[in-house]
Amino acid sequence: MNLVLRTSLFIAALCASLPSAHGATVSSTRLRGVVEKGYGDIDLLRAGVQSRDLTMAQLEAFRRDNGGKLAFAVDVNEAASGLEKSASQGVAVEYARVEVTTASGVVQFSDFVTETQSAIATAGQSTRSLRYTLIGDGGSRLLTNSTNTTSDINGSSFDATIRIPVSIDLSTATAARLIVKFLDTNQALGDPESFYDYSNGFEDVAIATAADSLYLDQAAPGRTEAPLVLLAPTSTLLATSTSPTPAAASRAYFPSSDQFYTVAYEDQFPNRGDYDFNDLVVAYRVYLELDTSGNAVGIGGEGYLVARGGGFDSDWHLRLPLPATASGSGTVTVFAPDQLAPIAGHPRKVSFNGPADLQVFTSVGTLWRDGTNDFVNTPKDQALVRGHRFTFKLQLDSALPASQFPVTPFDPYLFVYNTGYEIHLPGRSAVLGNSRNVRDGRTTFVDPSGYPFSMILPQDWQVPVEYTDLGLAYSDFLGFVRGDLAKQDWYARPATGRTKATLPSLWKW
Reference 215, options 161, 149, 178; nearest CA is 161
- Residues 305, 293: Cα–Cα separation, whole Å: 35
Q: Which run of H or of E encompasses 314? A: strand 314-320
Q: Are 281 and 475 in contact (CB under 8 A)?
A: no
For the chain, which residues make up each domain, given as ranges? 3-231, 241-507
Q: Which residues contact 3 (CB under 8 A, 6 or more apart)?
A: none
For residue 334, the SS3 value is strand
Q: So what's the pLDDT on residue 353?
A: 97
Q: So what's the pLDDT on residue 444?
A: 95
Q: Is the dihedral of CA 464, 470, 472, 475 positive or negative?
A: positive
Q: Is the dihedral of CA 216, 218, 222, 226 positive or negative?
A: positive
CB under 8 Å, gap of 24 or more: what pairs does 38-41 form?
A: 38/91, 38/181, 38/182, 38/184, 38/198, 39/180, 39/181, 39/182, 40/178, 40/179, 40/180, 40/181, 40/203, 40/205, 41/177, 41/178, 41/179
- Residues 207, 186: Cα–Cα separation, whole Å: 31
- Residues 330, 411: Cα–Cα separation, whole Å: 19
Q: So what's the pLDDT on residue 5?
A: 36
- Residues 200, 35: Cα–Cα separation, whole Å: 10
Q: So what's the pLDDT on residue 145?
A: 63
DSSP secondary structure of 216-269: HHHH-TTGGGSSS-EEPP-GGG----SSSSPPP-EEEEESBTTB-EEEEE-TTT
Q: Which residues contact 457 (CB under 8 A, 6 or more apart)?
A: 261, 262, 263, 264, 491
Render each residue's pLDDT in the chain as its tens digit; 509 residues.
333 333 333 333 333 344 444 455 678 999 999 999 999 999 999 998 665 799 999 999 999 999 999 999 999 988 777 677 878 899 999 999 999 999 989 999 999 999 999 989 999 988 888 899 999 987 556 666 655 667 888 778 899 999 999 999 999 999 999 999 999 999 888 888 989 999 867 899 999 999 999 889 988 988 888 888 888 765 332 333 333 444 566 788 888 888 899 999 999 999 999 999 999 999 999 999 988 778 899 999 999 999 999 999 999 999 999 999 999 999 999 999 999 999 999 999 999 999 999 999 999 999 999 988 889 999 999 999 999 999 999 999 999 998 888 888 999 999 999 999 999 999 999 999 999 999 999 999 999 999 999 999 999 999 999 999 999 999 999 999 999 989 999 999 999 999 999 999 999 99
Q: Is the dihedral of CA 478, 479, 483, 489 positive or negative?
A: negative
Q: So what's the pLDDT on residue 244?
A: 40
DSSP E strands, 66-174:
69-74, 89-102, 105-109, 113-114, 116-120, 129-136, 160-165
Q: So what's the pLDDT on residue 139?
A: 59
- Residues 348, 95: Cα–Cα separation, whole Å: 46
DSSP secondary structure of 352-393: EESSEEEEEES-HHHH--BTTBS-BS-STTSPP----EEEEE
- Residues 38, 200: Cα–Cα separation, whole Å: 7
Q: Is the dihedral of CA 476, 451, 253, 212 positive or negative?
A: negative
Q: Are 183 and 117 in contact (CB under 8 A)?
A: no
Q: So what's the pLDDT on residue 337?
A: 96
Q: Which residues contact 156 (CB under 8 A, 6 or more apart)?
A: 30, 73, 75, 142, 143, 206
Longest dimension (CA), the chain: 86
Residue 202 Cα distances to 53, 197, 317, angstroms: 21, 13, 42
- Residues composing the chain: 509
Q: So what's the pLDDT on residue 20?
A: 41
Q: So what's the pLDDT on residue 3?
A: 31
Residue 464 Cα distances to 25, 278, 332, 458, angstroms: 61, 6, 30, 14
